[in-house]
Structure 1
Amino acid sequence: MEKYKGYLMVVVAASLWGVSGTAAQYVFDHSDVSMKWLVSVRMLISGLLFIAFSYYGKERKEIWSVWKSKKSAFQILFFGLAGMLAVQYTYFASIDEGNAAVATLLQYLAPVFIMIYFLVVFKKVPSRFEMISLVLALMGTFLLLTNGASENLTVPAACIIWGIISGVSLAFYTLYSGKLIRTYPSIIVVGWGMLIGGTTMMFIKAPWDFDPAGWTFTTIGLIIFVILFGTLVPFFLFIDSMRYITAKESSLLACAEPLSAVLSSVVWLGVPFGLYQGLGGGAIIIMVVLLTLKPKESKKKMSENVNY
């Protein structure tokens, strides 16, 4: 039963992440809420809440441990800027320029960038397994962005560029956070990362720099949803699920995120999503599953040689 509890927690977390992207798209399309403002507020509030929960939880004594040495302080600062902020900003920028469905699927190309990183670092020829994954990623991306017609793009070029950068940022986030999360509690790493990113965003778009004159109750409700149920709740569920299931199982079940983003975009916002786009999205998800199920031997070998 505990395993099923863990499965449910990951599926709910991933689904909330996906739906929150669609909620953000609705806010951008139906109000004058700035993408930069929402990223700033989302990260600041979430970061403060994560640190506050840590203070009143069992991680209280470790909150300030990341700042006790110059090395760890630099690592958490770099993670907050080049990892957490980069992922959040580029993902929402892609949504703002296009739609949540395409933005989420492009972000899920991250495993391909991680694979390419390992191949370059270890100067090895791609295996058949890796070549199949790469072909699926390229084919899926092509179909997703063109719906089978190469002369037409289904979303603006800016959405594609930000989406690909988002995938690269997520790959870096995943690789760089490895040592931090093995050294400090996940909630503290995520909390400081969010807070650092949000504080930096304050200099770009201050949280108090907004005009609520044209906001409706729906706008306010969706902003709260993006902050709480698109960040705080799913992160807690995902992190806590690790007590019941393995990292591999959680990675597989996290594929519910692009599925929920696509379904909510199509059903709720009426975003057109063609047959070939669906096939492309499916190919990307299959690629993620294949790379997650990659033979343990090669994964272990790589992890032993990587210097985070």
Structure 2
Amino acid sequence: MGKNNMLIDPLVLSSSRNKGIALVLTGAVLWGVSGTAAQYLFQRQGFSPEWLTVVRLLLSGVILLGLAYKKEKQQVWGIWKAKTDRFQIILFAILGMLSVQYTYFAAIEHGNAATATVLQYLAPAIITCYIAFRLKRFPTSTVSIAVIIAILGTFLLVTGGSVRALSISGWAVFWGITSAFSLAFYTLQPYKLLSKWGSMIVVGWGMLIGGIAFSFIHPPWAFEGNWTISSLFAVLFIIIFGTIIAFYFYLESTKYISASEVSLFASVEPLSATFISVIWLNVTFGLAEWLGTLCIIITITVLSLVRNK
């Protein structure tokens, strides 16, 4: 019996790890594809990022909270009992969830999904700099080099390697970098809420509140664009696969592999967005843009490995 257990355990361990990797990779690819689907809606079907943002937040929030209620029951409402938790979830919903969703879609509208996604993934470098400032401690040489590589990657991505002109519009750069700062806030701010209430409840309320708040600026019935079979499919894909399923897979993967590995494998999102944008929407990506993307992927990898240590 003892020998059999010794033989089986490594196989079970390996199977669980492979399952975790498969889950996070699938989730990341779905996120990347949903970004490209959003670009298709904005640039080919005349949809607005405001409408897609509010509808995505409202529908995804309701679905996630419904799933959370099925599992947690009355625990879903507990987050509103303490004054501190109420303030934090509203702050997360507006400055975190709503901000990161809208700025990302705005960056796609003014540029493309590939560039927007890669620029958003500057967030780990921003987080690293913030933590170093907060702790009043200089980053290690490895981390410093990784941040410099990220800055180089950003330069190559937005200029195409030429200092004379931007390869994408200034608004695309603005919204893309704003999206990175929003993602950094989204990542850092809710850690106490997440540890207390869990991801599904926090993200579900964040989406629903963000959607309700944005409805006062752009109501969900104020629609513009062309409804076709392909545009309907794109909207459904973004909400179901690019939000609900991708989020669920991402959470499930943390049961089988470490958080640092999850963030490392999730870095395939900008790569998937880039490849699909180039193949499907004929986005032009030259050598400089590919090198810039590679630089930012290297930064994510290095920072994930350093955090693991």
The normalised TM-score by structure 1 is: 0.93
Partner of 1:155: 168
Shift of 1:149: 1.1
- Matching residue within 51, 67, 87 for 1:53: 67
Partner of 1:259: 271
- The SS at the match of 2:189 is helix
> Is structure 2 residue 6 aligned with structure 1 residue 5?
no
- Aligned AA (2:172): C
> Is structure 2 residue 123 aligned with structure 1 residue 110?
yes
> Is structure 2 residue 142 aligned with structure 1 residue 129?
yes
For 1:1-308, list aligned pairs within 5 A: 1-57=15-71, 59-211=72-224, 214-294=226-306
Query: What is the rounded CA distance, in whole Å, between the counterparts of 1:296 and 1:288 in structure 2?
Result: 12
- Aligned AA (2:69): Y
Query: What is the rounded CA distance, in whole Å, between the counterparts of 2:82 and 2:279 in structure 1?
Result: 50
Shift of 1:211: 4.9
Query: What is the rounded CA distance, in whole Å, between the counterparts of 2:307 and 2:245 in structure 1?
Result: 32
Gaps of 5+ in 1: 298-308
Structure 1 pair 4–296 and aligned structure 2 pair: CA distance change class (3 A): closer
The normalised TM-score by structure 2 is: 0.93
Query: Could you list the per-position Cα deviations for residues 114-159 of structure 1 after superposition, in whole angstroms to 9, with x for gaps in the alignment?
Result: 1111121122233211220111011111111112111121110000
Query: What is the rounded CA distance, in whole Å, between the counterparts of 1:177 and 1:124 in structure 2?
Result: 23
Partner of 1:301: none
Query: What is the rounded CA distance, in whole Å, between the counterparts of 1:98 and 1:167 in structure 2?
Result: 15
Query: What is the rounded CA distance, in whole Å, between the counterparts of 1:160 and 1:258 in structure 2?
Result: 16
Query: Could you list the per-position Cα deviations for residues 169-218 of structure 1 after superposition, in whole angstroms to 9, with x for gaps in the alignment?
Result: 10111111211111112100110000011111111111112256x32111
Query: Could you list the per-position Cα deviations for residues 248-297 of structure 1 after superposition, in whole angstroms to 9, with x for gaps in the alignment?
Result: 11111001100100000000000000011101100100001101111556
Query: Could you list the per-position Cα deviations for residues 98-128 of structure 1 after superposition, in whole angstroms to 9, with x for gaps in the alignment?
Result: 1000000000000111111112112223321
- The SS at the match of 1:210 is coil
**Could you list the runs of 4 or more consecutive aligned residues of structure 1 that deviate by over 4 angstroms after TM superposition?**
none
Query: What is the rounded CA distance, in whole Å, between the counterparts of 1:236 and 1:296 in structure 2?
Result: 23
Structure 1 pair 123–163 and aligned structure 2 pair: CA distance change class (3 A): same
Residue-pair matches, total: 295
Query: What is the rounded CA distance, in whole Å, between the counterparts of 1:177 and 1:241 in structure 2?
Result: 20
Query: What is the rounded CA distance, in whole Å, between the counterparts of 1:33 and 1:296 in structure 2?
Result: 41
- Aligned AA (1:134): V
Query: What is the rounded CA distance, in whole Å, between the counterparts of 1:118 and 1:291 in structure 2?
Result: 13
Structure 1 pair 296–232 and aligned structure 2 pair: CA distance change class (3 A): closer
Gaps of 5+ in 2: 1-14
Partner of 1:306: none
Query: What is the rounded CA distance, in whole Å, between the counterparts of 2:264 and 2:125 in structure 1?
Result: 15
**C-alpha RMSD of matched pairs (Å):** 1.2
Query: What is the rounded CA distance, in whole Å, between the counterparts of 1:267 and 1:177 in structure 2?
Result: 37
